[in-house]
Amino acid sequence: MIVEIGHFALILALVVAFAQGTVPLIGAHRGDALWMAAARPAALTQAVLVAMAFGALMHAYVTSDFSVLNVINNSHSTKPLIYKISGVWGNHEGSMLLWVLILAVFGAAVAVFGRHLPPGLSARALSVQALIAFGFLLFILFTSNPFERVALAPADGRDLNPLLQDPGLAFHPPFLYLGYVGFSVAFSFAIAALLEGRVDAAWARWVRPWTLAAWTFLTAGIGLGSWWAYYELGWGGWWYWDPVENASFMPWLAGTALLHSAVVVEKRDTLKGWTIFLAIVAFSLSLLGTFLVRSGVLTSVHAFAVDPARGVFILVLLLVAIGGSFALFAWRGPALMPGGLFRPVSREGALLLNNLLLATATAVILLGTLYPLFIDAVGGAKVSVGPPFFDSVFVPLMVPLVAALAVGPLLPWKRGDLAGALGRLKLAFVLAAAAVVGIWFVFDRGSVLAVLGLGLAAWLAVGVVVEIAGRIHLLGIAPVASLRRLLGLPRAAWGMTLAHFGLAVLVAGVTASSAWKVEKIQTMRPGDTVEVAGYTYRFEGARDVQGPNYAATRGRFTVTRDGEPFVVLEPEKRLYPVQQMPTTEAAIRSTFLGDLYAVIGDAEGNEGGFVTRLYFNPLVPWIWAGILLMVAGGVASLSDRRHRVGAPGRRPLTTEAASAKA
């Protein structure tokens, strides 16, 4: 009965979403306060109903209710409880339900926190939010219903893809979805502003924290995803420019651009049209990302056509949401009033440069991701666009971005002094040059680009420190006074500093791990030793172990450095019998300078020999640290109370207005 109540709650949510998507919109158009007032309670009700449906599905998973088709296909009674729970969103239907749940929760949050917004704006935004939910709920109920039942429940389920039975992947989709769906708020507000034909001061103030929240979640989600790929897929890398990865990276790039242009709208009341455009792009790419991954279109255009109803529905939904919003933008966008002016060399100018580079990067990745699909769909040859393409177009765009990033925060608004800013960065330049020379002579003489990449990271890191030192007048005044200033900095400033510094650390990690990775693949018999980047790996043999729902071969390597024992690594190769699917569990030991990474493959010969893959991945921990710093920056900035919108009240304007006139 709980399953059926969940099913009904989902249907009721659809009806409520329909009401919420139409009544307040008409009300806002007619200026009818009563109709507009329907938006907030509807948003809250909708969230509660979708949460009930999600809870009911989760209950079915936890109790192994095999009368539910979705549970049969994706669960098994012997699976550990945590993966029964994560199995709820580890499949198409359940993940769509999670998507709508997050959408509804964001809608409810707008209803709760948006009490002080102009009623017309909040009513329209909530309506747009509900229309998105309506489309998705229709899609779920009519093509991907997770509450479908079977008359005769089988004895047991068909298990979850064992690759997904992993903590990294269990929590990667929810974060990713929080990010994707978070952009829906910026999108809804952008559409509402276009419908109203005006961008309120509250608009930019509102869009920024929501974008920031979405961006933070998406950063964490992508980070978790590549961390998972790094230790679970066992090929020693963490990013492959795979279409699935690109699908999440494109909204991130667009969202990063949006985050920065929203600052300009708030502070300077300009770039409004561009920011609205970016908000639409960021969410459109999120939609595209969701469906690219979920529809199966990436593995093959033909797999997509296996379920034509689903495919056609997705296409129509994308067409209405993306096409409709761009059409609206083309129609209403030009009417938005331009705001304050600025010189090319200024904070605004720097943020615009950031936007242009990020938007170009997004466009080339979109091209590289969709081109093979397009060629395949029109019946051409199978082409694949891989890392060489992306590396050669993405890196040249990111180099000027990172280089300019150190300068931008030093420029004041409206008009800046480039020479002055560069003068303050002398120290950064000297240190970066020292880093380049040092690395070149001490470690490596082969890879010029990689050494320059590390130099760029050093330039950015020192630039960030110089910026914050300037703010607190470090060395200019007494240290105690500097410290007081440091503590008094707004949290948004802290957020920016952390995120930019995190990027510097990330750039260093990415550069080093791709340039100086050491890889050794060989067959080893017990007692054999192999040396990888100064560490000696001795293979002690492998034995069979039994896990809760898998059988594994566990290898054992004793690693020594200069004869001293360093660590014991025990990689596993697991076989999940229900699905007959092998997975690899790499054994990783992180050090400050890099990861020792061991993978065991198939048995070879009769003397206990195994194929082994041993890696040294330099600075990979820096990648995770950089991402963590960026997430921390997002959280710090979010907690800044400047982002909140206060209640409007009637206060005499005379004094303020008079001083402006003077």
Partner 1 sequence: MTLWIAVGGLIALTLAVMLMALLRARPPAVARGDYDLAIYRSQLDEVERDVERGILAPDLAEAARLEIKRRMLAAAGGTDLQTAAPPAVAPAWCSAILVLVVVLVPVASIGLYLMLGSPTMPDQPLASRSVATQTAGREQAEMERLTARLAQQMENQPDRVDGWLLLGRSLRTLENYDEASRAFERALALTGRAPDVLSEYGEILVLAHGGRVAESAKQIFEETLRAAPAEPRSRYYLGLAKAQKGDPRAALQDWVDLIAVSPPDAPWLTDIRREIRGVATAAGIDAGTLAPSAGLSAPPSAPPPGPSAEDAKAAAEMTAAEREAMIRGMVEGLAERLKDEPDDADGWRRLARAYEVLGESEKAKGALAQAEAAEKKAKP
Region 221-280 residues binding partner 1, contact defined as CB under 8 A:
268-269
3-state secondary structure 472-508: CCCCCCCHHHHHHHHHHCCHHHHHHHHHHHHHHHHHH
Enumerate the H helices of 319-346 as residue ranges.
324-332
Choose between 156 and 444: whose C-beta lies nearer to partner 1: 156
Q: Is 476 near partner 1 (CB under 8 A)?
A: no
Closer residue to partner 1 (CB): 308 or 344 = 308
In the range 117-136, which residues lie near partner 1 by CB under 8 A? 117-120
- Name which of residues 404 to 443 contact partner 1 (CB under 8 A): 412-414
Nearer to partner 1, 149 or 561 (CB): 149
Q: Using CA atoms, how far apart are residues 178 and 106, in angstroms rounded to an integer? A: 9
d(CA 581, CA 572): 14
Q: Phi-psi bin for 594: left (phi > 0), alpha (psi -120 to 50), beta?
A: left
User: Which of the stretches 311-319, 416-424, 465-473, 530-538 binds partner 1 when contact is defined by CB under 8 A?
Assistant: 465-473
Smallest gap from Cβ 659 to partner 1, in A, equals 6
Cα distances from 19 to residues 7, 35, 54, 110, 186, in angstroms, run 19, 10, 21, 17, 22
Residue 77 binds to partner 1 (criterion: CB under 8 A): yes
Q: Which positions from 530 to 569 touch partner 1 by CB under 8 A, shown as an x/- string?
A: ----------------------------------------
| Least CB distance to partner 1 at residue 39 (A) | 9
Contact call for residues 610 and 583 (beta carbons, < 8 A): no
483 binds partner 1 (CB under 8 A): no
Residues 6+ apart with CB under 8 A from 552: 544, 545, 546, 572, 573, 574, 575, 585
Three-class SS of 92-150: HHHHHHHHHHHHHHHHHHHHHHHHHCCHHHHHHHHHHHHHHHHHHHHHHHHHCCCCCEC
Q: Which residues pair with 615 in a beta bridge?
A: 519, 597
Binders of partner 1 in range 187-226 (CB under 8 A): 200-202, 205
C-alpha of 94 from chain center: 20
Cβ proximity to partner 1: between 70 and 514 the closer is 70
CB of 198 to partner 1, least distance (A): 9
Nearest to partner 1 of 15, 427 (CB atom): 15
CB of 476 to partner 1, least distance (A): 11
Size of the site for partner 1 (CB under 8 A): 92
Smallest distance from partner 1 to CB 145, Å: 7
Short-list 294, 290, 127, 271, CA closest to 203: 271
CB 616 within 8 A of CB 468: no
Which residues, at least 6 apart from 60, have a Cβ–Cβ distance to it below 8 Å? Answer: 2, 3, 6, 68, 70, 71
Q: Which residue, 301 or 432, is less far from partner 1 as judged by CB? A: 301
- Among the listed ranges 7-15, 126-134, 215-223, 314-322, the one in contact with partner 1 (CB under 8 A) is 7-15
Q: Applying CB under 8 A, which of residues 112, 167, 302, 380 lies at the interface with partner 1?
A: 302
Closest distance between partner 1 and the C-beta of residue 171, in Å? 25
Least distance in angstroms from the C-beta of 42 to partner 1: 6
Q: Restricting to residues 334-353, which ones interact with partner 1 according to CB under 8 A?
A: 340
Q: Report, in angstroms and rounded to the nearest whole number, the Rg of the chain calculated over CA atoms.
A: 27
Considering only the stretches 14-22, 274-282, 363-371, 452-460, report the one whose residues sit in contact with partner 1 under the rule CB under 8 A: 14-22
Beta bridge partners of 543: 554
> Which of 414/561 has CB closer to partner 1?
414
CB of 246 to partner 1, least distance (A): 24
Positions in 502-531 near partner 1 (CB under 8 A): none
- Residue 454's φ and ψ, nearest 5 degrees, are -65, -35
Judged by CB under 8 A, the residue of 51, 85, 153, 515 near partner 1 is 153
Give the interface segment with partner 1, choosing from 149-157, 255-263, 354-362, 430-438 (CB under 8 A): 149-157
**Distance between CA atoms of residues 205 and 262, nearest Å:** 8
Task: Tell me if 116 contacts partner 1 by CB under 8 A.
Answer: yes
C-beta separation of 411 from 421 below 8 A: yes
Applying CB under 8 A, among 21, 25, 57, 64 the residue interacting with partner 1 is 64
Site for partner 1 in 567-606 (CB under 8 A): 577, 580
- Give me the least distance between CB of 470 and partner 1, in Å please: 10
Sequence-ordered list of residues with C-beta below 8 angstroms from that of 344, at least 6 positions apart, any chain? none
Binding flag, residue 144, partner 1 (CB under 8 A)? no
Q: Which of 384, 546, 606, 659 binds partner 1 (CB under 8 A)?
A: 659
Phi-psi region of 197 (alpha: psi -120 to 50; beta: other; left: phi over 0): left
| DSSP H helix total and E strand total for the chain | 24, 10
Q: Residue 287 Cβ, how far from partner 1 at the closest point, in Å?
A: 24
Which range binds partner 1 by CB under 8 A, 101-109, 114-122, 224-232, 595-603? 114-122
Footprint of partner 1 on 352-411 (CB under 8 A): none
Each residue 29-58 as x (binds partner 1 by CB under 8 A) or -, in order, gives -xxxxxxxxx-xxx-xx---x--x------
Which range, of 116-124, 176-184, 208-216, 246-254, touches partner 1 by CB under 8 A?
Answer: 116-124
Q: Amino acid identity of 537?
A: Y
Residue closer to partner 1, measured from CB, 139 or 147: 147
Burial code of 211-225, b = ≥16 C-beta within 10 A, e = fewer? bbbbbbbbbbbbbbb
Using rule CB under 8 A, residue 324 touches partner 1: no
Nearer residue to partner 1 within complex by CB, 117 or 410:
117
Q: Which residues contact 441 (CB under 8 A, 6 or more apart)?
A: none
CB closer to partner 1 out of 442 and 660: 660
- Strand-pairing partners, residue 415, are none
Which amino acid, 241? Answer: W
Could you tell me if 111 and 40 are in contact, meaning their C-beta atoms sit under 8 angstroms apart?
A: yes
What is the total residue count of the chain? Answer: 662
Q: Does 66 bind partner 1 (CB under 8 A)?
A: yes
Q: Does residue number 156 form part of the binding site for partner 1 (CB under 8 A)?
A: yes
Among 29, 149, 491, 589, binds partner 1 (CB under 8 A): 149
Between CA 532 and CA 616 the distance in angstroms is 7
CB of 368 to partner 1, least distance (A): 23
Residue type, 58: M
Q: Considering beta carbons, is residue 6 or 621 the nearer one to partner 1?
A: 6
